[in-house]
Structure 1
Amino acid sequence: MEEIDFYLDHSQEMMDKAVSHCNSELAKIRAGKAMPNMLDGITVEYYGASTPLQQVASVTTPDARTLSIKPWEKKMIPEIEKAIINSNLGFNPQNDGELIRINIPPLTEERRISLVKQAKSETENGKISVRNVRKEVMDSLKKLLKDGASEDAIKGAEEEVQKITDLHTKKLDDLLELKEKDIMTL
C-alpha cells in the first residue's frame, strides 16, 4: 500500500536525521586534538547581528594541539576573543594582533571519562529520537489497520520498521564506540 510505503520512508528519513544529528553532536566533543569544528556554535556580534564565527574568520589547525583563527577584518579580533571566552568551552585564546591562537591542552584521565559520559548521553538522546520515530510510525500503522488496511501488510510493515530501528540503533552504537576509542586514545 502507498500509505505504508510512505510511513516506512518517513521512518527511514527521520531516523537518518537522528543519527546524523547525533554524529554532529559527537563531533563537537573534543578528543584532545584540535579540530576547527570545535568552535561550531560560537557566534560573534558583527555589525549588530549575531553571526557564526566561520562567517567572519577562517579557522585552521596548524598542528594537532593548536587552533588558529584569522578574522576577515582585524577589528573583529576582540569580538571573537570575547565570544570564545564566553562560550564556556574552557579555551584561553591568545591574540597577537593578526590572529587568535588557542592551545588545546592534553586531556586528563578524569576529563576523558567525563567526555565519554557526555558522548554516551548524546548517543542515548539519538536512540530516544529513533524510538520516538518508531512509536509514531507504529501508531500510524495501527490507525491504518483500524481504517481497513490488510492485517498482513501492517504486520510486515511493523517488522520492517523494527528492522530500520535496529539498524539505526546499531549505527548509533558504532558512532559511540568510535568516539569512545577516539577520546580514550592518548
Structure 2
Amino acid sequence: MGKAEEIGKKALKLYKSLTDEHSIADESGVIKRLGQDWVALGLKYYPYQIMKLMSDISSEEVAAEGMYQFGYKCGKEICSRYISLGKEGRAAIEFTCAGATYFGWGAIEIIEFTEERGVARVYNSFEARSYFANNKRKSSVPQCNFFRGVMAGVGHTYWNREAKAKELKCIAMGDKYCEVEAVAV
C-alpha cells in the first residue's frame, strides 16, 4: 500500500463517522469515471462562487463569457470524443447529453437539432441549482453560461463551423427548465 492509499484509507474511515454514503473516490483520493480523472465540488461552491469571484475581479459580463468559452471548449472536446468512439452525427449529440446527465449536469432533453439550429432543455440544471444554493431570490438574468457554451461547442463539432448559443429560459429566473438555442454562424 502506498502513502496515498494509507492516508486515504484513514480519511475515508474517519468520514464514515459522518455518513453511511459510499465514497465516490477510491482509497487514494482519486475519482475515475470512463477512464478519466474527475473531481467533485458542491454546488454551493461551483460554479456560482467562481462566477462571483470573476465578477468581483472584472465584471458579470466577463465572468459569463469566461464560463461560456470554457463550456464551448468542453462541448467541442466531449462531442469529438464520442465521434472518435464511433458515435457519428446525432448519436454523438445524444451521447454528449446522456453523459451530461450521468455526471450530474441535469437531465438534458434534445428538442431540435437540425443542420442550422439546436435546442436543448435542461431540467435540474447544476448551474441554476448552484445559483439557488447561494441566493434566495430569482435571478434577473440566465445563469447557465457553461451549458450555453457546451451547446455552441457541440454545434460547432456537429456543423463543422462556428456556432453561438443563447439561453432562452432559466430555472434561476423562475422557468420550469433551462432552454438553450445554438445556431450555426
TM-score, with length taken from structure 1 = 0.29
Q: TM-score, normalised by structure 2?
A: 0.29
In our comparison, the structure showing a higher alpha carbon Rg is 1
- For CA contacts below 8 A with separation 6 or more, give which structure has more relative contact order: 1
